[in-house]
Amino acid sequence: MRTWSDRHLGIGFDQLLILQKSNCLKAKYYYRIINSDGTEVEQCGNGARCIAYYLFIIKKIKKNKICIRTKKRYLYLEYLYKNFMKIDMGKPLFSPCQLPFLNNDIKLYYSIEIDKRIYKISIVSMGNPHCIVQIEDFNDNLIKKIGYKLSIHPLFPKGVNVGFMQVISENKIFLKVYERGVGETKSCGTGACAAVVTGIRNNLLCNTVDVFLSGGQLQVTWRGGLKDTVYMSGEATHVYDGVLKY
Protein backbone atom coordinates (compact mmCIF):
# COMPACT_ATOMS: atom_id res chain seq x y z
CA MET A 1 0.00 0.00 0.00
CA ARG A 2 2.80 2.43 0.86
CA THR A 3 4.43 1.76 -2.51
CA TRP A 4 1.19 2.24 -4.44
CA SER A 5 0.39 5.48 -2.63
CA ASP A 6 3.89 6.98 -3.07
CA ARG A 7 3.62 9.93 -5.48
CA HIS A 8 7.30 9.54 -6.39
CA LEU A 9 6.66 6.06 -7.80
CA GLY A 10 3.39 6.66 -9.62
CA ILE A 11 0.24 8.78 -9.50
CA GLY A 12 -0.04 8.23 -5.73
CA PHE A 13 -3.01 8.74 -3.42
CA ASP A 14 -4.11 9.52 0.11
CA GLN A 15 -6.70 6.76 0.09
CA LEU A 16 -7.49 3.71 -2.01
CA LEU A 17 -11.21 3.11 -2.59
CA ILE A 18 -12.28 -0.44 -3.37
CA LEU A 19 -15.68 -0.70 -5.05
CA GLN A 20 -17.61 -3.96 -4.84
CA LYS A 21 -21.11 -5.22 -5.54
CA SER A 22 -23.22 -5.03 -2.39
CA ASN A 23 -24.71 -8.17 -0.87
CA CYS A 24 -27.78 -6.32 0.46
CA LEU A 25 -30.88 -5.11 -1.37
CA LYS A 26 -30.79 -1.53 -0.05
CA ALA A 27 -27.39 -0.61 -1.51
CA LYS A 28 -26.24 -1.26 -5.06
CA TYR A 29 -22.51 -1.04 -4.19
CA TYR A 30 -20.23 -1.45 -1.19
CA TYR A 31 -16.95 0.41 -0.90
CA ARG A 32 -13.93 0.13 1.38
CA ILE A 33 -11.49 2.92 2.23
CA ILE A 34 -7.80 2.14 2.79
CA ASN A 35 -5.41 4.86 3.98
CA SER A 36 -1.95 5.26 2.48
CA ASP A 37 -0.46 3.62 5.59
CA GLY A 38 -2.58 0.49 5.01
CA THR A 39 -5.17 1.09 7.73
CA GLU A 40 -8.85 0.70 6.84
CA VAL A 41 -11.22 3.50 7.88
CA GLU A 42 -14.98 3.76 8.15
CA GLN A 43 -15.87 6.73 5.98
CA CYS A 44 -14.58 9.23 3.41
CA GLY A 45 -16.71 12.09 2.11
CA ASN A 46 -14.42 13.04 -0.75
CA GLY A 47 -14.12 9.37 -1.60
CA ALA A 48 -17.90 9.13 -1.78
CA ARG A 49 -17.94 12.04 -4.22
CA CYS A 50 -15.28 10.36 -6.35
CA ILE A 51 -17.21 7.10 -6.27
CA ALA A 52 -20.33 9.03 -7.31
CA TYR A 53 -18.49 10.63 -10.24
CA TYR A 54 -17.15 7.25 -11.34
CA LEU A 55 -20.53 5.53 -11.14
CA PHE A 56 -22.60 8.27 -12.77
CA ILE A 57 -20.12 9.51 -15.39
CA ILE A 58 -17.81 6.61 -16.17
CA LYS A 59 -20.32 3.81 -15.64
CA LYS A 60 -23.13 5.96 -17.06
CA ILE A 61 -25.75 4.95 -14.52
CA LYS A 62 -29.06 6.34 -15.75
CA LYS A 63 -30.57 7.13 -12.34
CA ASN A 64 -29.68 10.47 -10.72
CA LYS A 65 -29.53 8.94 -7.24
CA ILE A 66 -28.27 5.64 -5.84
CA CYS A 67 -27.46 4.13 -2.45
CA ILE A 68 -24.08 2.66 -1.53
CA ARG A 69 -22.81 1.09 1.69
CA THR A 70 -19.62 1.72 3.69
CA LYS A 71 -18.26 -0.03 6.76
CA LYS A 72 -20.41 2.07 9.12
CA ARG A 73 -23.41 3.48 7.20
CA TYR A 74 -25.40 3.89 4.01
CA LEU A 75 -24.78 6.89 1.74
CA TYR A 76 -27.01 8.32 -0.96
CA LEU A 77 -25.17 9.68 -3.98
CA GLU A 78 -26.84 12.21 -6.27
CA TYR A 79 -25.68 13.52 -9.63
CA LEU A 80 -26.45 17.25 -9.92
CA TYR A 81 -24.87 18.46 -13.17
CA LYS A 82 -21.56 18.21 -15.09
CA ASN A 83 -19.13 16.93 -12.45
CA PHE A 84 -20.98 18.21 -9.38
CA MET A 85 -22.18 15.60 -6.91
CA LYS A 86 -24.34 15.76 -3.79
CA ILE A 87 -23.88 13.24 -0.99
CA ASP A 88 -26.36 12.44 1.77
CA MET A 89 -23.80 11.87 4.53
CA GLY A 90 -26.27 10.66 7.16
CA LYS A 91 -26.81 11.98 10.68
CA PRO A 92 -23.99 13.39 12.82
CA LEU A 93 -23.38 11.57 16.11
CA PHE A 94 -22.26 13.45 19.23
CA SER A 95 -22.03 10.77 21.91
CA PRO A 96 -18.38 10.23 22.97
CA CYS A 97 -18.83 6.45 22.87
CA GLN A 98 -19.70 6.66 19.16
CA LEU A 99 -16.26 8.01 18.16
CA PRO A 100 -14.96 6.66 20.63
CA PHE A 101 -13.78 9.45 22.98
CA LEU A 102 -13.09 8.66 26.64
CA ASN A 103 -15.60 10.97 28.30
CA ASN A 104 -18.99 10.22 29.81
CA ASP A 105 -20.77 13.48 28.96
CA ILE A 106 -22.17 14.96 25.75
CA LYS A 107 -20.94 18.58 25.58
CA LEU A 108 -20.51 21.34 23.03
CA TYR A 109 -16.83 21.67 23.97
CA TYR A 110 -14.23 19.54 25.71
CA SER A 111 -10.79 20.50 27.04
CA ILE A 112 -7.75 18.45 26.12
CA GLU A 113 -4.10 19.03 27.05
CA ILE A 114 -1.26 18.95 24.51
CA ASP A 115 2.29 19.98 25.49
CA LYS A 116 1.02 21.62 28.69
CA ARG A 117 -1.48 23.76 26.78
CA ILE A 118 -5.26 23.33 26.96
CA TYR A 119 -7.15 23.15 23.65
CA LYS A 120 -10.92 23.50 23.37
CA ILE A 121 -12.36 20.94 20.96
CA SER A 122 -15.73 19.80 19.66
CA ILE A 123 -16.27 16.18 18.67
CA VAL A 124 -18.58 14.49 16.16
CA SER A 125 -18.77 11.25 14.22
CA MET A 126 -19.69 11.39 10.53
CA GLY A 127 -19.28 7.65 10.30
CA ASN A 128 -15.65 8.30 11.24
CA PRO A 129 -14.33 10.26 14.25
CA HIS A 130 -13.55 13.99 14.12
CA CYS A 131 -12.47 16.65 16.58
CA ILE A 132 -12.64 20.32 15.58
CA VAL A 133 -10.41 23.11 16.87
CA GLN A 134 -11.42 26.70 16.13
CA ILE A 135 -8.46 28.96 15.34
CA GLU A 136 -7.95 32.63 14.47
CA ASP A 137 -5.13 32.14 11.94
CA PHE A 138 -3.46 29.14 10.35
CA ASN A 139 0.01 28.12 11.47
CA ASP A 140 1.19 25.17 9.36
CA ASN A 141 3.80 24.00 11.87
CA LEU A 142 1.29 24.14 14.71
CA ILE A 143 -1.32 22.27 12.65
CA LYS A 144 1.09 19.46 11.80
CA LYS A 145 2.43 19.20 15.35
CA ILE A 146 -0.85 19.56 17.26
CA GLY A 147 -2.84 17.76 14.58
CA TYR A 148 -0.60 14.71 14.87
CA LYS A 149 -0.64 14.69 18.68
CA LEU A 150 -4.41 15.08 18.83
CA SER A 151 -4.91 12.36 16.21
CA ILE A 152 -3.15 9.79 18.44
CA HIS A 153 -4.20 11.17 21.83
CA PRO A 154 -5.06 8.37 24.31
CA LEU A 155 -8.51 9.90 24.87
CA PHE A 156 -9.27 8.73 21.31
CA PRO A 157 -8.56 4.96 21.49
CA LYS A 158 -9.05 4.46 17.73
CA GLY A 159 -7.50 7.78 16.72
CA VAL A 160 -9.29 10.85 15.38
CA ASN A 161 -9.28 13.19 12.39
CA VAL A 162 -8.44 16.74 13.46
CA GLY A 163 -10.00 19.78 11.78
CA PHE A 164 -8.69 23.33 12.27
CA MET A 165 -11.53 25.74 11.47
CA GLN A 166 -11.30 29.47 10.84
CA VAL A 167 -14.73 31.14 10.79
CA ILE A 168 -14.86 33.95 8.20
CA SER A 169 -18.61 34.60 8.36
CA GLU A 170 -21.76 32.71 9.28
CA ASN A 171 -21.75 31.01 5.85
CA LYS A 172 -18.02 30.70 5.11
CA ILE A 173 -15.12 28.91 6.79
CA PHE A 174 -11.52 27.97 5.99
CA LEU A 175 -10.49 24.48 7.05
CA LYS A 176 -7.36 22.34 7.28
CA VAL A 177 -7.54 18.70 8.30
CA TYR A 178 -4.96 16.35 9.78
CA GLU A 179 -6.22 12.83 9.02
CA ARG A 180 -5.26 9.86 11.15
CA GLY A 181 -3.09 7.48 9.16
CA VAL A 182 -2.50 10.07 6.40
CA GLY A 183 -1.35 13.41 7.81
CA GLU A 184 -2.41 16.85 6.60
CA THR A 185 -4.58 16.56 3.49
CA LYS A 186 -5.67 19.06 0.88
CA SER A 187 -9.32 18.21 1.38
CA CYS A 188 -11.54 16.12 3.64
CA GLY A 189 -15.26 15.76 2.98
CA THR A 190 -16.26 14.26 6.32
CA GLY A 191 -13.99 16.82 7.99
CA ALA A 192 -15.86 19.63 6.22
CA CYS A 193 -19.17 18.15 7.38
CA ALA A 194 -17.86 17.77 10.94
CA ALA A 195 -16.62 21.38 11.05
CA VAL A 196 -19.90 22.81 9.76
CA VAL A 197 -22.01 20.64 12.06
CA THR A 198 -20.07 21.69 15.16
CA GLY A 199 -20.11 25.32 14.02
CA ILE A 200 -23.91 25.25 13.62
CA ARG A 201 -24.33 23.45 16.93
CA ASN A 202 -22.20 26.11 18.66
CA ASN A 203 -24.20 28.97 17.05
CA LEU A 204 -21.27 30.13 14.91
CA LEU A 205 -22.66 29.24 11.47
CA CYS A 206 -25.91 29.23 9.52
CA ASN A 207 -27.46 26.10 7.99
CA THR A 208 -25.62 26.20 4.65
CA VAL A 209 -21.87 26.91 4.63
CA ASP A 210 -19.17 27.17 1.96
CA VAL A 211 -16.05 25.35 3.14
CA PHE A 212 -12.73 26.40 1.62
CA LEU A 213 -9.88 23.88 1.79
CA SER A 214 -6.49 24.03 0.10
CA GLY A 215 -7.71 21.41 -2.41
CA GLY A 216 -10.99 23.09 -3.34
CA GLN A 217 -14.42 24.17 -2.14
CA LEU A 218 -17.37 22.23 -0.72
CA GLN A 219 -20.84 23.24 0.38
CA VAL A 220 -22.32 21.63 3.48
CA THR A 221 -25.94 21.89 4.65
CA TRP A 222 -27.42 20.75 7.98
CA ARG A 223 -30.73 21.87 9.47
CA GLY A 224 -29.40 21.46 13.02
CA GLY A 225 -31.55 18.70 14.47
CA LEU A 226 -30.23 15.42 15.82
CA LYS A 227 -32.37 13.54 13.30
CA ASP A 228 -31.38 15.78 10.37
CA THR A 229 -28.99 14.43 7.77
CA VAL A 230 -25.93 16.30 6.49
CA TYR A 231 -25.59 17.08 2.79
CA MET A 232 -22.27 17.74 1.08
CA SER A 233 -21.94 19.03 -2.49
CA GLY A 234 -18.90 19.60 -4.66
CA GLU A 235 -16.92 18.75 -7.75
CA ALA A 236 -15.13 15.55 -8.68
CA THR A 237 -12.58 15.41 -11.49
CA HIS A 238 -11.28 12.50 -13.54
CA VAL A 239 -7.47 12.53 -13.49
CA TYR A 240 -6.02 9.21 -14.53
CA ASP A 241 -6.73 5.64 -15.66
CA GLY A 242 -4.27 2.88 -14.92
CA VAL A 243 -3.72 -0.71 -13.82
CA LEU A 244 -2.28 -1.81 -10.49
CA LYS A 245 -0.31 -5.06 -10.53
CA TYR A 246 -0.21 -7.16 -7.36
Q: Where are the alpha helices (DSSP H) in the chain?
A: 2-5, 45-53, 140-151, 189-201
Distance CA(246)–CA(244), nearest Å, equals: 7
Contacts with 243 (C-beta within 8 Å, 6 or more apart), sequence order: none
Distance CA(183)–CA(162), nearest Å, equals: 10
| Active-site residue, from 24, 50, 67, 188 | 188
Distance CA(162)–CA(34), nearest Å, equals: 18
Q: Active site includes 44?
A: yes
| Active-site residue, from 44, 50, 131, 193 | 44
Phi then psi for residue 14, to 5 deg, are -80, -40
Instruction: State the CB neighbour count (10 A cutoff) for residue 18.
Output: 10
DSSP-derived 3-state class of residue 177: strand
Cis ω for the linkage preceding 157 (within 30 of 0): no
Report angle CA 52, 54, 57 to the nearest 5 degrees.
95
Distance CA(94)–CA(70), nearest Å, equals: 20
Give the helix, strand, coil percentages of the chain, each rounded to 5.
20, 35, 45
The residues carrying an active-site annotation are 44, 188
